[in-house]
Chains A and B, each alone.
Chain A
């Protein structure tokens, strides 16, 4: 399953964002941020204790089951007495959750997390970014490994000169995507695909912000 991968902002940054806001309601989420250990039940509790020690009043906490879901609206309604006591919402979900909540409430929303990427869990507690939704899928030419995402420079014609022993120039822990792609295409007997020159990519395939309508006849 794909997951929204998050990292908690530094305490100093959160303190700054909460400056002048005395009464806080904290929202976590039971899905991706629980897996990332950035906004599940234990983290929300820890945040509550921290804020209480800083003389903030925490009017309540809520762990939404899936913060980005439309049902969030109902869950928030149930907690409206405690929420209405607060002068800001500290939201420990990914940015999808923050925006879903912000659309429902006329209260300042403070994100406690940074949303890093949409990733896949590779092993326990290990998440990799494997698709950046570029709008122009090249996986058919690259053995099913995405160079737009997995290559630090997003190169589509092969490795740069920074590749070293199969690793990336920016981090010896990161695999060089093109070493992996080369190996895979060799196994598949498809090295000819790597030898084909790829022209400049279309970066406006879906101009930002992305918007898509399922054609009318197919919506039923």
Chain B
């Protein structure tokens, strides 16, 4: 099976991915609108898997829709809700239906979501899920049995370059690469000088790194993330810039800032690409790309 996203990663071009969050319910109109809007403007689209532990339409179903509409899906898979049997089965199904990119995540805790009394699974972690994919590719499942028809995935993972303390995070990062990650989409970064220092370290590994950028929509949102989202740090200068935007112009300012960051990451060749997260404002991703000169 062809692996267009892997080819894109290896082509040397600056890679652009973005993401779409499936809805809570069966009305897919808005999600399909976002997919249609973005599928030809980015190299691949992530489909989030019960993001923040909130039950939604499944990422696998959303990835199939991206595929049906001619886009390139990156199936996000967390280890929170499925044990190793269910994860492997979903990987077989995904591959058989032409989904060839997977982003392996451990997953948020159950208690941050909307089903707070559910049982958390975590039978595997993100690095073990990556190793599982590489095992399935060799025609063996985790039970050691032979598969009749194997899989082949372009597999990725995440890292938090701003984690504190950083060192334990980097050990995990290296284990993910060793377990088979070909690409990394980072947690959101805002301090690009600091990120460039992370890249000086990360460049030694055989992995493509896409910097995560989250669209700021207000100064308050930036402050909220600083307080509540682990590993995300918006510098005060950007918060001030957002706060200084004229009334009603905060979103435009956020688009300008995100575009400026993407442009710098690309022009200075700091990393291999970007992953743009416009949580709830997917329709402005083309504006961000325009602001970045892409």
Contacts and interface: CB of A to CB of B under 8 A. Distances in A.
Contacts, number: 89
A100 interface: no
A155 B106 contact: yes
Contact of A170 (B111, B131, B163, B164): B111
Interface string A151-164: 01111111111111
Contacts of B122: 153-155
Interface residues of A, number: 30
Interface in A130-166: 152-166
Interface stretch (A1-9, A49-57, A111-119, A195-203): A195-203
Interface stretch (B2-10, B38-46, B168-176, B242-250): B168-176
Given A157-B125, A162-B230, A195-B174, A169 B109 contact: yes
B158 A161 contact: yes
B171 A163 contact: no
B179 A153 contact: no
Contacts of A161: 105-106, 158, 160, 163, 169, 187, 230-231
Contacts of A109: none
A170 B123 contact: no
Given A157-B125, A161-B230, A195-B174, A178 B168 contact: yes
Given A160-B106, A163-B230, A203 B169 contact: no
A102 interface: no
Contacts of A159: 163, 168-169, 172
B164 A153 contact: no
A143 B167 CA distance: 16
B34 interface: no
B165 interface: yes
A130 B105 CA distance: 26
A200 B124 contact: yes
From A153, A161, A170, name the one whose CB has the most chain B CB atoms within 10 angstroms.
Answer: A161
A182 B163 contact: no
A99 interface: no
B260 interface: no
B175 A200 contact: no
B128 interface: yes
A149 to B, nearest CB: 13
A25 to B, nearest CB: 32
Given A179-B165, A195-B174, A197-B178, A162 B109 contact: yes
B267 to A, nearest CB: 28
B142 interface: yes
Contact of B112 (A169, A197, A201): A169
A66 interface: no
Contacts of B132: 200
Interface string B112-124: 1000000010111
B108 interface: yes
B164 A158 contact: no
A194 interface: yes
Given A161-B187, A169-B112, A194 B165 contact: no
B125 A156 contact: yes
Contacts of A155: 106, 122, 125
Nearest to A178: B168
Nearest to B128: A200
26 contacts: A153-B125, A155-B125, A156-B125, A157-B128, A157-B175, A158-B168, A159-B172, A160-B106, A160-B126, A164-B230, A164-B231, A165-B164, A166-B164, A166-B165, A169-B109, A170-B109, A170-B112, A179-B168, A194-B168, A195-B175, A197-B178, A200-B124, A200-B128, A200-B132, A200-B142, A201-B123
Interface of B: 84, 105-106, 108-109, 111-112, 120, 122-128, 131-132, 142, 158, 160, 163-165, 167-169, 171-172, 174-175, 178-179, 187, 230-231
Given A163-B168, A195-B175, 5 more contacts: A153-B122, A158-B172, A161-B160, A169-B108, A169-B230
Closest 9 CB pairs of A and B: A158-B172, A164-B230, A182-B168, A153-B122, A160-B106, A157-B127, A155-B125, A170-B109, A161-B160
